C-alpha cells in the first residue's frame, strides 16, 4: 500500500532532531558519492491575468541507502508590496491554498511509497539547514539570536537553533508590529527564553551571536554590513538565498554544504545555481520574475575565495571558524533534491512505525503496459 501523509501527520511525526539527523546523513552520502541530486528547475508560463504567472517547480534526488524523492510545486505567482517591503506571493487555486507534493519511491524496486504534503516538511528542512550551519560555524557559546522575520520559517529556524546551541534570548523584527510581538511571545512560552520584539531592525544586529533572515521579501533583508558585529554567524532564506553583497564582503568564512553534480558526460554543466528557469514568452513583460534573473545567475556561490564545503570539513582538508571574532555564513547550496529524499524517507519510516498516514492501493500507480 502507498501512503498519503498530510501536514498534520508530518507535524506529529517529524521532530527537528530527526530532520537534522536525516539531512546530515544525506550530506555525508552526497560527499561520498552515494547520493545524487539536481538543482531545482522552474518552468514559467504567463496566465490570462497580466499581473500573474504560473510556475511549476521540481527538485529531486536519491541515494543507494534506499530512497528517491521528487518535490513538485504548482503556483500562481504575483508581486505585492507592504510598508515598502516588496514580496513575491503565491497560491494554488485561490489565495491561501497551496499545492506542493513529495513523491517518495524505493530505489530497490521502483515502488511508489508515499505522497506527502510538503508544507510542514519544507519549513522543517529549511530550518534544519540553518541549524546545521550554526552547529558547525557559530561560536559554541552562542546564546542570542537576531531574527528578521516572524513567519513559519522563523519558527522552524528558532527550533533548529535551540536544538544545536544553548539559546537564551531572541531579538526579532518584522514589518508588522502585531506579528513580531506575537512571535516573540510564542517563542518565550515555547522555549522558556527571553524574547524581545523590536521596532527598529538595527537592534536585531546588536549583541547577537546568530543573525537570521527568514522572510519572503523579493530583495535581500540582511544588507547593513556596518551593523554586523564581529563574531556573528549569519544565515538567510528567501530573497534569492543570499544576504546583500556588502554583508558577504564582511564574511570571513563561508560554509556551503555542496553543489549538485554535473550530468554524466557533461562536466561543463556543473552549475552551482540554486535553480534553473525555463519560460514561455520569455520576452514578455508579464514574466516579471525573469527580469530579476537578467544578466545574473540564480544564486550560485557567493564568495569563491572564502568558501568551504562540508566535504572539505569532513575530510579535514579545510577548517571552518578559526577565531571567535570571525563573521561566518552558511547555506545549503543547490542540494534541495538531497534534502527531500532524506527527510521524506525518515518521515515514511516513522509513519509506518506509528501506523499513521492514509493507505491507498499501490496498484493505482502501476500498469501492465510498458511505456
pLDDT of amino acid 363: 95
pLDDT of amino acid 299: 64
Please tell me the total count of domains within the chain: 1
Residue 242 in any domain: the answer is yes
Residue 163 in any domain: the answer is yes
- As a whole number, the mean pLDDT across the chain is 90
pLDDT of amino acid 218: 63
Distance CA 80, CA 29 (A): 40
pLDDT of amino acid 371: 79
Q: Please, how many CA atoms are within 13 Å of residue 211, restricted to the half-sphere of its CB?
A: 28
Strand-pair category, 169-173 with 233-237: unpaired
pLDDT of amino acid 277: 86
Q: Detail the DSSP E strand segments found in the chain.
A: 2-5, 35-37, 40-46, 53-63, 67-82, 85-91, 99-106, 112-117, 144-148, 169-173, 194-197, 210-214, 233-237, 253-256, 275-279, 307-309, 328-331, 358-360
pLDDT of amino acid 83: 64
pLDDT of amino acid 91: 96
pLDDT of amino acid 281: 85
- Reference 72, options 56, 84, 90; nearest CA is 56
3-class secondary-structure state, position 47? coil
Residue 316 in any domain: the answer is yes
Q: Per-residue pLDDT tens for 19-59?
A: 999 999 999 999 999 999 999 999 999 999 988 999 999 99
pLDDT of amino acid 85: 63
Q: What value does the mean pLDDT take over residues 294-314? A: 74
pLDDT of amino acid 318: 86
Distance CA 357, CA 123 (A): 20
pLDDT of amino acid 193: 97
Whether the per-residue pLDDT at 196 is higher than 50: the answer is yes
- Reference 251, options 234, 272, 227; nearest CA is 234
Residue 207 in any domain: the answer is yes
Strands, sheet with 328-331, edge to edge from the N-terminal-most edge strand? 194-197, 169-173, 144-148, 210-214, 233-237, 328-331, 253-256, 307-309
**Structural domain boundaries, residue 221:** 139-259+299-332
In contact, 207 and 196? CB cutoff 8 Å? no
Q: Per-residue pLDDT tens for 144-167?
A: 999 999 999 999 999 999 999 999
In contact, 109 and 286? CB cutoff 8 Å? no
Whether the per-residue pLDDT at 240 is higher than 80: the answer is no
In contact, 331 and 241? CB cutoff 8 Å? yes
Q: Which of 176-180, 234-238, 239-243, 254-258 has the lowest mean pLDDT?
A: 239-243
In this prediction, residue 295 has a pLDDT band, given cuts at 50, 70 and 90, of very low
Residue 274 in any domain: the answer is no
pLDDT of amino acid 239: 56
pLDDT of amino acid 273: 81
3-class secondary-structure state, position 251? coil
Buried b (16+ CB within 10 A) or exposed e, 287-301: bbbbeebeeeebbbb
Q: What value does the mean pLDDT take over residues 195-211? A: 95
3-class secondary-structure state, position 318? coil
Residue 368 in any domain: the answer is no
pLDDT of amino acid 284: 74
Residue 146 in any domain: the answer is yes
Whether the per-residue pLDDT at 288 is higher than 80: the answer is no
Q: Per-residue pLDDT tens for 16-25?
A: 999 999 999 9
Whether the per-residue pLDDT at 298 is higher than 70: the answer is no
**CATH number for the domain that contains residue 157:** 3.40.50.720
pLDDT of amino acid 191: 96
- Reference 137, options 312, 328, 308; nearest CA is 328
Residue 345 in any domain: the answer is no
Q: Per-residue pLDDT tens for 61-86?
A: 999 999 999 999 999 998 887 666 66
Cross-strand partners of 69? 61, 104
3-class secondary-structure state, position 61? strand
Cross-strand partners of 356? none
In contact, 205 and 199? CB cutoff 8 Å? no
Which position has the higher pLDDT, 279 or 186? 186
In this prediction, residue 226 has a pLDDT band, given cuts at 50, 70 and 90, of very high
Whether the per-residue pLDDT at 115 is higher than 80: the answer is yes
Amino acid at each position: 500500500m502507498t501512503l498519503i501523509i498530510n501536514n498534520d501527520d508530518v507535524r506529529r511525526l517529524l521532530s527537528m532532531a530527526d530532520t537534522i539527523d536525516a539531512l546530515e546523513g544525506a550530506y555525508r552520502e552526497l560527499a561520498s558519492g552515494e547520493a545524487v541530486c539536481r538543482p531545482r528547475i522552474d518552468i514559467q508560463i504567463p496566465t490570462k491575468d497580466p499581473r500573474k504567472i504560473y510556475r511549476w517547480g521540481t527538485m529531486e534526488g536519491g541515494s543507494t541507502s534506499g530512497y528517491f524523492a521528487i518535490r513538485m510545486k504548482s503556483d500562481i505567482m504575483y508581486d505585492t508590496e507592504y510598508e515598502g517591503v516588496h514580496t513575491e506571493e503565491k497560491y494554488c487555486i485561490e489565495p491561501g491554498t497551496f499545492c506542493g507534493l513529495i513523491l517518495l519511491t524505493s530505489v530497490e524496486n521502483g515502488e511508489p511509497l508515499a505522497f506527502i504534503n510538503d508544507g510542514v516538511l519544507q519549513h522543517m528542512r529549511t530550518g534544519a539547514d540553518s541549524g546545521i550551519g550554526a552547529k558547525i560555524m557559530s561560536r559554541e557559546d552562542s546564546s542570542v539570536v537576531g531574527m528578521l522575520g516572524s513567519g513559519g520559517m522563523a519558527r522552524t529556524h528558532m527550533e533548529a537553533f535551540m536544538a544545536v546551541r544553548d539559546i537564551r534570548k531572541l531579538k526579532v523584527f518584522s514589518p508588522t508590529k502585531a506579528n513580531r510581538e506575537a512571535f516573540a511571545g510564542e517563542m518565550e512560552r515555547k522555549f522558556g527564553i527571553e524574547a524581545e520584539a523590536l521596532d527598529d531592525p538595527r537592534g536585531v544586529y546588536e549583541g547577537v551571536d546568530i543573525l537570521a533572515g527568514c522572510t519572503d521579501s523579493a530583495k535581500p533583508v540582511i544588507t547593513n554590513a556596518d551593523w554586523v558585529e564581529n563574531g556573528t554567524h549569519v544565515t538567510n532564506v528567501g530573497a534569492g538565498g543570499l544576504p546583500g553583497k556588502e554583508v558577504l564582503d564582511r564574511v570571513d568564512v563561508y560554509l556551503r554544504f555542496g553543489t549538485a553534480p554535473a550530468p554524466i558526460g557533461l562536466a561543463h554543466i556543473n552549475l552551482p545555481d540554486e535553480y534553473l528557469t525555463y519560460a514561455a514568452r520569455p520576452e514578455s513583460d508579464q514574466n516579471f520574475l525573469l527580469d530579476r534573473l537578467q544578466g545574473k545567475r540564480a544564486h550560485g556561490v557567493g564568495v569563491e575565495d572564502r568558501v568551504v564545503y562540508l566535504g572539505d570539513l569532513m575530510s579535514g582538508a579545510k577548517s571552518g571558524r578559526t577565531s571567535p571574532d570571525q563573521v561566518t555564513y552558511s547555506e545549503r547550496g543547490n542540494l534541495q533534491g538531497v534534502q527531500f529524499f532524506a527527510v521524506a524517507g525518515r518521515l515514511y519510516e516513522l509513519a509506518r512505525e506509528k501506523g499513521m498516514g492514509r493507505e491507498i492501493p499501490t496498484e493505482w500507480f502501476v500498469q501492465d503496459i510498458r511505456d
